[in-house]
């Protein structure tokens, strides 16, 4: 299965008093990674919300903080969908600095409409399946 990568620069505003990235900012970085994965599949979250009333929510997240990131570091957020379930999609995510893995996460997102879980849209399912099959 193929992964999606985006690069993010760490700015002063991302750090805490110690000079390291504040732990909650890693959640923002990973959210961007998941959003950009959808965008790479020609799926805009705003369009899904507007046209289908569908949003994605994080159902589960497990984090393993391995090493800290610092101001001016260039980080790569790696997002790998693991499987397609009815209404949810487990993913693994990593925050890397070069070849170093700073954070590992296991994330499950769920498709929701009007507060209830719904099946992943067929278009998204096809796009992800094609990406998995091609290794693109």
Catalytic residues: 16
How far is it, in rounded angstroms, from Cα 89 to Cα 110?
6
Name the token pair of 45: 């979250």
User: If we measure between CA atoms, which residue out of 58, 54, 41 comes closest to residue 109?
Assistant: 58
Q: What is the 3-state secondary structure (H, E, C) of 70-130?
A: ECCCEEEEEEEECCCCCCEEEEEEEEEECCEEEEEEEEEEEEEECCEECCCCHHHHHHHHH
């Amino acid at each position: 299965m193929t992964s999606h990568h985006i690069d993010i620069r760490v700015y002063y505003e991302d750090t805490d008093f110690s000079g390291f990235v504040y732990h909650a900012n890693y959640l923002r970085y990973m959210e961007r990674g998941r959003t950009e994965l959808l965008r790479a599949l020609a799926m805009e979250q705003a369009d899904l919300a507007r046209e289908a009333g569908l949003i994605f929510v994080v159902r589960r997240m497990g984090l393993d903080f391995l090493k800290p990131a610092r101001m001016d570091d260039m980080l790569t957020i790696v997002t790998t969908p693991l499987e397609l379930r009815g209404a949810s999609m487990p993913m693994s995510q990593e925050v890397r600095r070069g070849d170093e893995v700073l954070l590992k996460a296991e994330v499950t997102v769920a498709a929701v409409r009007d507060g209830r879980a719904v099946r992943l849209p067929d278009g998204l399912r096809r796009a992800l399946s094609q990406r998995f099959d091609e290794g693109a």
